[in-house]
Structure 1
Amino acid sequence: MAVFVDAFQTIILPRRATGRFRITRFFFITTWHPWTVIGGRMKNARAREQFYSAYGPLSLILLLLLWALLLIVGFGMFYFALGTPFTDVMGVQTAAGLSKVRTALYVSGTTLFTLGLGDVVPHSMAARTLIICESGVGLGFVALVIGYLPVLYQAFSRREVNIALLDARAGSPPTATELLRRHGFEGGDVALTELLVEWEKWAAEILESHISYPILCFYRSQHDSQSWLSALVAILDTCSLLISVLEGPASRQAQLTFVMARHALIDLGNVFHVQEQRAWTIQSAVDRLPESDFGRLCEVLGDMGLRLCGDQASADRLRTVRELYEQHAKALSQYLRMPLPAWVPAKKEKDQWTLLTKLRTEAEAGRVASLLRNERGH
């Protein structure tokens, strides 16, 4: 019965599963921690990230195998309780002791996977009825697995599309200041508002899909510098800045996006009970925006015409907004081993965005100069 309830809550029920003593929760607790311990000992960052990325798909396979094994054992114990009333093809009665247990498990396994070998024949009505029931369960189990995998990977694919698109808009890894800087052009506030609308919908999809299928949280992005958590936090950082500093349409949409993104972040943290873990207390003392980074943040925003350091009220608002989500993000980051984005991106020697912007500026300057020469010629 426990397997039926757990599989129903994990696969079929379209809402967060409840109950502390669930097979799926016990499985993730007993497998994820040892996995992170082994991965944490790897010195090579790329190899470590590759090791973490294998956990999601592998845990899905192992979870399905665990369910199947428990079903086999459960039905096998029913057969054993009936006295293992089976006879093999040679007409020999099942012997007593351990042989009965082996025969009961063998019959359960072949019945669950609907092999229909017929080498062991039941000779009681109760055993025949139970075999029919287990055959139906086996067919249903296979059908659920077949339907479960496409749903998971479709949700994963939809999630990754926006994360990949954010690379060109906020850098890799994404940061709030880079996102604002790349929208610091004429009409950029409109483009930024449209982007926040898309991410409000994305956060709602994450809330719906990842609450129903928490295993998706362990699935990592294609590139080591990207993750669904870093993208979500980068959007929350951006909304925090817009709410704290700006007035206008972008600020209004930032409030809507912030509420939905924070809702998704906190609910996902509750799924893994991050508030009850040791990391919750430890991460509360870690500041994502120390004084040095805050100074660089002020410089970048100042270049864009957004005043933060000169306005104490704006700085206080930013601190208040950050307190609404940062501790949850840091605890979830520690649990999933997904690093959070910085507030200000590190300087890169080869920045493609800067190069493209320079070329575009030079092309625009050349076009203006050409027009001026033509006017003088006339």
Structure 2
Amino acid sequence: MVNVIAAVAGVLVLVVVWSSVLRTVLIPRRTSSRMARWTVRIAAAGGTAIARRLPRRACEAVMDFCAPVSLMLMMIGWLVGLGVGFSLLAVAAGVAFDSDAIIRFFELKLEGAAGALAVFAAVSVIVMIAIFLAHVVRFVDAYSRRERLVVRLAAQASQVPDGDKVLADYLRSGSRDNLDNHFAEWAAWLSDIHNSHANYPGLVYHRSAGELWWPQAALIVMDAAALVDAVAPKWAPPHTRVLLDSGTACLQQLAARMGIVIPEMTVSLHGREECSFGDTVQLTTAAGLPGERDPYRAWAAFQDTRVRYAPYAVMIESRLLCQPDLRKSEDEYPSYL
């Protein structure tokens, strides 16, 4: 009876472990295994709690390790699961857990069912390590895709209000179709972030390569699209709404995965506290944007769209400790809410 129970328990443990592995690495969908999510939460919670109490440089050093540590915890969890599962099967096969038997088990020197089980365990470990390395390669590739546009945008903008200048530059230097191409590229970028960061939760906490962070970059490009949609809705290129919809879904759902809750609001000044909307309208219309709405109606339309994404981007920045003034807890930032 003990052998039967041990065999059933071992098989169940192995099924759960391999289900977690396959769901995390090989099943393409906007989700991930519980192992991937919980290891990220543990690493992020521990890293953030420590980093908040450290100077800026030390804070960055601690936060740099959140994503790598979450990956290592996930791998360790899988290996421990394999160890438990095969240990239970070894008990069912009659392997005595003394030092000599354990050494012969790992040296693949046992015979019969125990020997076959040892070979199967070794093959499973090798296959799992190979799958994990493939997962790391995909993780790094997704990170590179995210940072590629951020680095390019950083040459034009470093703060949220700079999005007005970026939009004005595009309006002066190109046609409506050219602006639509930029909006399409940004929409595809945000959709890729949405998909990859849902599949690989650790990517959310992986630090940016430069001074501009991906939530800030998302806020800049979405503000540009929201301005076009608010000031000239009939003239707006086709991908304007695509960019806004994909970006809103990305930020809202990633914020929800991080446990961020934003109360309902009617005005969002996040990052634009010192930016006059009248000056923004004047700058963009002078650059070639048709003024189909007066500034008051445009302001209302702009805010109706912005409250759906800007607060989420800022609170994600706060959770990631992106800026020195965002290192305190979210409860100390009522202005953001």
With the shorter chain as reference, the TM-score category is 0.7 to 0.9
TM-score of the aligned structures, taking structure 1 as reference length = 0.70
Deviations 1:163-216 (A, max 9, x none): 111122333577422322433525365543321121122122223322222222
| Corresponding position of 1:40 | 52
Alpha-carbon distance in structure 1 between the residues aligned to 2:250 and 2:104? 45
Alpha-carbon distance in structure 2 between the residues aligned to 1:238 and 1:37? 35
Greater relative CO, 1 or 2 (CA 8 Å, sep 6+): 2
In structure 2, do the counterparts of structure 1 residues 285 and 42 end up closer, same or farther at CA, with 3 Å as the change threshold?
farther
> What amino acid is the match of 1:43?
P
Alpha-carbon distance in structure 2 between the residues aligned to 1:325 and 1:173? 13
Displacement of 1:33 after TM fit? 0.6
> What amino acid is the match of 2:281?
L
> What amino acid is the match of 2:298?
S
> What amino acid is the match of 2:192?
E
Superposition RMSD on alpha carbons, in Å?
A: 3.4
Alpha-carbon distance in structure 1 between the residues aligned to 2:277 and 2:238? 22
Question: 8 Å contact 2:267–2:304 — kept in the other structure?
Answer: no
> What amino acid is the match of 1:280?
V
In structure 2, do the counterparts of structure 1 residues 107 and 284 end up closer, same or farther at CA, with 3 Å as the change threshold?
farther
Counterpart pick for 1:5 among 13, 19, 38: 19
Deviations 1:20-58 (A, max 9, x none): xx22222222221111011111232x4423431222123
Q: Who wins on radius of gyration, i.e. which is larger?
A: 1
| Corresponding position of 2:308 | 324
| Corresponding position of 1:226 | 212
> What amino acid is the match of 1:194?
N
Question: 8 Å contact 1:6–1:23 — kept in the other structure?
Answer: yes
In structure 2, do the counterparts of structure 1 residues 130 and 234 end up closer, same or farther at CA, with 3 Å as the change threshold?
same
Alignment pair present for 1:334 and 2:318: yes
Alpha-carbon distance in structure 2 between the residues aligned to 1:76 and 1:147? 27
Displacement of 1:139 after TM fit? 2.6
Secondary structure of the residue aligned to 1:169 is: coil
Alpha-carbon distance in structure 1 between the residues aligned to 2:53 and 2:266? 23
Alignment pair present for 1:122 and 2:110: yes
Alpha-carbon distance in structure 2 between the residues aligned to 1:104 and 1:72? 15
Alignment pair present for 1:30 and 2:42: yes
Secondary structure of the residue aligned to 1:236 is: helix
| Corresponding position of 1:156 | 143
Displacement of 1:134 after TM fit? 1.4
Displacement of 1:255 after TM fit? 1.1
Alpha-carbon distance in structure 2 between the residues aligned to 1:250 and 1:147? 42
In structure 2, do the counterparts of structure 1 residues 188 and 293 end up closer, same or farther at CA, with 3 Å as the change threshold?
farther
| Corresponding position of 1:280 | 261
Secondary structure of the residue aligned to 2:261 is: helix
Deviations 1:309-356 (A, max 9, x none): 95322121112112322343344333333459xxxxxxxxxxxxxxxx
Aligned counterparts, 1:84-163, within 5 A: 84-85=95-96, 100=97, 110=106, 117-118=107-108, 121-123=109-111, 125-163=112-150
Aligned counterparts, 1:248-287, within 5 A: 248-270=234-256, 272=257, 274=258, 277=259, 279-281=260-262
Alignment pair present for 1:208 and 2:195: yes
Question: 8 Å contact 1:82–1:127 — kept in the other structure?
Answer: yes
Question: 8 Å contact 2:222–2:244 — kept in the other structure?
Answer: yes
Alignment pair present for 1:194 and 2:181: yes
Counterpart pick for 2:78 among 67, 70, 75: 67
In structure 2, do the counterparts of structure 1 residues 247 and 28 end up closer, same or farther at CA, with 3 Å as the change threshold?
closer
Percent identity between the two aligned chains: 22
In structure 2, do the counterparts of structure 1 residues 42 and 25 end up closer, same or farther at CA, with 3 Å as the change threshold?
same
Deviations 1:79-132 (A, max 9, x none): 2344424xxxxxxxxxxxxxx276676667x3xxxxxx35xx435x33233223
Question: 8 Å contact 1:173–1:226 — kept in the other structure?
Answer: no
Q: Which moved more, 1:326-335 or 1:133-142?
A: 326-335
Displacement of 1:244 after TM fit? 0.9
Displacement of 1:295 after TM fit? 5.1
Alpha-carbon distance in structure 1 between the residues aligned to 2:80 and 2:21? 13
| Corresponding position of 1:240 | 226
In structure 2, do the counterparts of structure 1 residues 101 and 222 end up closer, same or farther at CA, with 3 Å as the change threshold?
farther
| Corresponding position of 1:94 | none
Alpha-carbon distance in structure 1 between the residues aligned to 2:204 and 2:127? 26
| Corresponding position of 1:301 | 281
Q: Which moved more, 1:27-36 or 1:302-311?
A: 302-311
Displacement of 1:249 after TM fit? 4.7
Aligned residues: 307
> What amino acid is the match of 1:62?
L
In structure 2, do the counterparts of structure 1 residues 173 and 328 end up closer, same or farther at CA, with 3 Å as the change threshold?
closer
Displacement of 1:297 after TM fit? 3.5
Gaps of 5+ in 2: 1-14, 325-337
> What amino acid is the match of 1:323?
V
Displacement of 1:292 after TM fit? 7.8
Q: Which moved more, 1:247-256 or 1:206-215?
A: 247-256
Secondary structure of the residue aligned to 2:304 is: helix
